């Protein structure tokens, strides 16, 4: 059983904090606050040709906002507002959650936890150079890992490693969803009677994407050895012991079971979301081993020599209507307009779909599929799942995730439509994203604000991860630039391999791009820059590298 979490009375510490704050002048407090968040913002700047309109309030501008027509100023403001909110909701010991410090109730709806919320909150952290992740890593290390190790033993009889489910506040076990415990107005029948809401075993594995990305974007090997690698290794060990052979299809593949595709029935095995996450997890372990200083080569051999990675079902299958299947047993429907697109995690923010390699996957149980076929199947799934407004809910985060996926598919028209539709339908006059915004009492969900900014950035620059550090890293400039953002620039974006990027464009065309690498290099990497479907520059990452392009 999980150990009871010790409750501490916060009264004295709160009184001390309030006393310190009240003793400062307004000017001194503002100066301290401004210096603090400016440092956390990391020097990243975005310009999309916005023009400030001082004749109207923000609420008035939002009230007049229309999908497709758009307003670059509002779109720019929302981007920067999200970065500020992430900084402000990661102060102290707790990571960001579904509502952060802005939860209005003592018991927030959905308990403010996660099966996509926590992940989406941090999508913008690395590429926009936000210094906000230390509280998340510390929280994982102090609460998730030790308690998750107990959960692995008690619930799954797995003695190595750790896992947590979808409760992010220190409880690592399953949740007992009910109308009362979820704070749903009326809990849907599926949430009361099934394990969809309470047993998402992949949360800790999904967060390893952020753990590995921090290493990949910063080259901070010291942090990796101390904190990142032990966390990732523990999660990987759990799944090495917990995967089982598929005895339904008898194809010798290894699958996660039971699993669900958040947040849809049925509970089954081999869900695409689970398998794609685990595929990436094993590759993170392979790519991160060298920098870890770990001498336990037997661990790496479990993944490689013993064939766990090769035998793992990859969650990449094309179904009866040309879609990317959501489950290994095909339950997909072309008329399902559910808000979640969990089976497209490998398209965005992951890389198993976006960077699909046919030669690699033939040996791993995905025969006779080309990258073009897999991307087309993802597009079919994206279209069939609708625009994020469906009978199950009207969520801003569902729309901005779709926008990010359309950007990944380099469809600027669909990207901008989906993005601006989200703003018109789900974002309030104070710029908060609201779930079921048309209701009399809608609920604030911060993840849509964060996911919005990630979608914007994904339309301007992409560098999806690779399966191996020896693979070429492809950086794509302006892959889905909408016509509304004719001129603009990015300063201080971070790219994999520890690089930074400055990029500018005018009249819809790139004008300058500059790549720099000022950090240490954990491994030299081959980089290829693409623009408008053509390779325009190749270079290798080395210390003090600089590559400038004029178009």
Plot region of 89 (φ>0 → left; ψ -120 to 50 → alpha; else → beta): alpha
Spatial CA neighbour of 95 closest among 126, 138, 140, 136: 136
DSSP-derived 3-state class of residue 462: strand
**DSSP characters over 351-378:** STTTT--HHHHHTTT-TT--HHHHHHHH
CA atoms of 325 and 343, how far apart (whole Å): 7
How far apart are the C-alpha atoms of 121 and 514, rounded to whole Å? 28
Q: Would you say 465 and 475 are in contact if contact means Cβ atoms under 8 Å apart?
A: no
Q: What CA–CA distance (Å, rounded) separates 343 from 323?
A: 10
* Rounded CA separation 52/133 (Å): 32
Q: How many CB atoms lie within 10 A of CB 260?
A: 25
Measured CA to CA, the distance from residue 430 to residue 74 in angstroms comes to 11
Spell out a b/e string for 523-549, using b for 16 or more CB atoms within 10 Å of the CB, else e.
eebbbebebeeeeebebebeeebebeb
Distance CA 309, CA 85 (A): 38
Q: Are the C-beta atoms of residues 432 and 449 closer than 8 Å to each other? A: yes
Burial (0-12, 13-18, 19+ Cβ within 10 Å), 293: exposed
Q: Where does the pLDDT of residue 169 fall: very low under 50, low under 70, confident under 90, or very high at 90 and above?
A: confident
Q: Give Dmax (Cα) for the chain.
A: 70
- Burial (CB < 10 A; 0-12, 13-18, 19+), residue 190, is middle
Place of tokens 């200083």: 293
Q: Contact, 165 vs 174, CB < 8 A?
A: yes
Which residues contact residue 42 at a Cβ distance below 8 angstroms, ignoring those fewer than 6 apart? 128, 129, 130, 131, 492
Distance separating alpha carbons of residues 298 and 273, to the nearest angstrom? 28
Q: How far apart are CA 546 and CA 548, in angstroms?
A: 7
Token pair listed for 40: 């956390």
Q: What is the pLDDT of residues 90-145, one digit of tens each?
A: 877 788 888 877 888 877 888 777 778 889 999 999 999 999 999 999 999 999 99
| pLDDT tens track for 241-272 | 999 999 999 999 999 999 989 988 888 999 99
The predicted-structure confidence for 485-536, as pLDDT tens digits, reads as follows 999 999 999 999 999 999 999 999 999 999 999 888 899 999 999 999 999 9
- DSSP single-letter state for residue 25: -
Whether 232 and 211 have beta carbons less than 8 Å apart is answered as yes
Ranges 258-272, 295-309, 311-325, most confident: 311-325
pLDDT of 408 reads 99
Do 351 and 375 touch, CB atoms closer than 8 A? no
Q: Which residues in 496-525 belong to E strands, given as ranges?
A: 499-506, 509-517
Q: Which of 5-9, 356-360, 450-454 has the lowest mean pLDDT?
A: 5-9
Residue 366 has pLDDT above 70, yes or no: no
Do 314 and 366 contact (CB within 8 A), yes or no? yes
Q: How would residue 360 be classed by pLDDT, with cut points 50, 70 and 90?
A: low
Nearest Cα to Cα of residue 476 among 463, 459, 458? 463
Q: Tell me which H or E stretch contains 422.
A: helix 412-426
Note the pLDDT tens digit of each residue in 145-165. Answer: 999 999 999 999 999 999 998
Length of the chain: 551
- Rounded to whole angstroms, the Cα distance separating 165 from 526 reads 37
CA atoms of 288 and 462, how far apart (whole Å):
22
Q: Which of 334, 335, 352, 387 is nearest to 343 (CA)?
A: 352
Q: Which CATH architecture has domain 474-550?
A: Sandwich (2.60)
Place of tokens 């506040």: 169
Q: In sequence order, which residues have a C-beta less than 8 Å from that of residue 434 and are 6 or more positions away?
A: 396, 426, 427, 428, 442, 443, 444, 445
pLDDT category, 435, cuts 50, 70, 90?
very high
pLDDT value, residue 55: 95
Share of the chain above pLDDT 70, in %: 93
- The enclosing H or E element of 534 equals strand 534-540
Residue with tokens 């791009």: 513
Take residue 125 and report the two structure tokens written for it: 């952290």
Locate the domains of the chain by residue range.
474-550
Read off the pTM: 0.93
3-state secondary structure 165-198: CCCCCCCCCCCCCCHHHHCCCCCCHHHHHCCCCC
Of 114, 314, 283, 141, which is closest to residue 212 (Cα–Cα)? Answer: 283
Which pLDDT score is estimated for 97? 86
**DSSP of 242-268, one letter per residue?**
H-EE-SSS-S--EE--SEEETTEEEEE
């Amino acid at each position: 059983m999980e150990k009871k979490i010790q409750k501490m009375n916060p009264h004295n510490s709160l009184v001390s904090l309030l006393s310190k704050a009240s003793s400062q002048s307004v000017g001194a407090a503002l100066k301290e606050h401004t210096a603090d968040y400016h440092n956390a913002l990391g020097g990243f700047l975005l310009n999309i040709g916005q023009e400030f309109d001082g004749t109207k309030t923000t609420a008035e501008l939002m009230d007049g906002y229309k999908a497709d027509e758009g307003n670059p100023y509002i779109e720019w403001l929302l981007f920067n507002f999200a970065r500020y909110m992430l900084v402000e909701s990661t102060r102290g010991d707790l990571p960001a959650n579904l509502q952060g410090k802005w939860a209005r109730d003592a018991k927030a709806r959905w308990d403010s936890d996660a099966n996509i919320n926590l992940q989406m909150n941090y999508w913008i952290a690395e590429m926009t150079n936000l210094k906000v992740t230390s509280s998340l890593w510390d929280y994982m290390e102090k609460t998730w890992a030790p308690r998750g190790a107990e959960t692995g033993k008690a619930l799954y009889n797995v003695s190595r490693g750790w896992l947590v489910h979808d409760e992010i506040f220190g409880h690592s076990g399953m949740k007992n969803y009910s109308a009362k415990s979820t704070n749903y107005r009326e809990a849907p029948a599926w949430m009361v009677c099934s394990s969809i809401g309470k047993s998402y075993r992949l949360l800790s594995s999904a967060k390893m994407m952020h753990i590995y990305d921090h290493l990949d974007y910063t080259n901070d090997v010291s942090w990796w050895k101390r904190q990142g690698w032990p966390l990732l290794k523990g999660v990987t060990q759990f799944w090495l012991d917990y995967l089982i052979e598929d005895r339904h299809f008898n194809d010798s593949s290894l699958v996660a079971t039971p699993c669900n595709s958040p947040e849809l029935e049925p509970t089954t095995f081999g869900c695409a979301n689970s398998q794609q996450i685990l595929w990436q997890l094993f590759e993170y372990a392979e790519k991160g081993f060298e920098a870890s200083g770990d001498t336990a080569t037997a661990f790496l051999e479990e993944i490689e020599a013993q064939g766990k990675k090769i035998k793992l079902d990859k969650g990449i299958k094309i179904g009866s209507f040309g879609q990317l299947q959501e489950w290994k047993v095909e339950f997909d429907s072309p008329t399902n307009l559910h808000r979640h697109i969990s089976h497209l995690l490998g398209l965005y923010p992951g890389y198993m779909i976006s960077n699909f390699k046919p030669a690699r996957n033939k040996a791993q149980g995905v025969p006779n599929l080309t990258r073009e076929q897999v991307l087309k199947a993802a597009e079919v799934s994206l279209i069939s799942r609708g625009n994020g407004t469906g009978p199950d809910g009207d969520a801003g985060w569902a729309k901005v995730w779709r926008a990010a996926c359309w950007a990944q598919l380099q469809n600027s028209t669909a990207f901008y439509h989906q993005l601006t539709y989200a703003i018109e339908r789900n974002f309030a006059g104070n710029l908060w994203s609201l779930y079921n915004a048309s209701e009399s009492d809608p609920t604030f969900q911060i993840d849509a604000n964060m996911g919005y900014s990630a979608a914007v950035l994904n339309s301007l620059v992409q560098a999806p991860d690779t399966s191996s550090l020896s693979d070429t890293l492809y950086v794509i400039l302006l892959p889905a630039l909408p016509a509304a953002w004719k001129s603009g620039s990015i300063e201080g974006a971070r790219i994999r391999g520890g690089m930074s990027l400055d990029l500018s464009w005018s009249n819809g065309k790139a004008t300058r791009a500059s790549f720099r690498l000022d950090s240490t290099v954990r491994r030299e990497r081959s980089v290829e820059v693409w623009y408008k479907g053509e390779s325009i520059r190749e270079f290798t990452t080395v210390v003090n590298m600089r590559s400038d392009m004029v178009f």
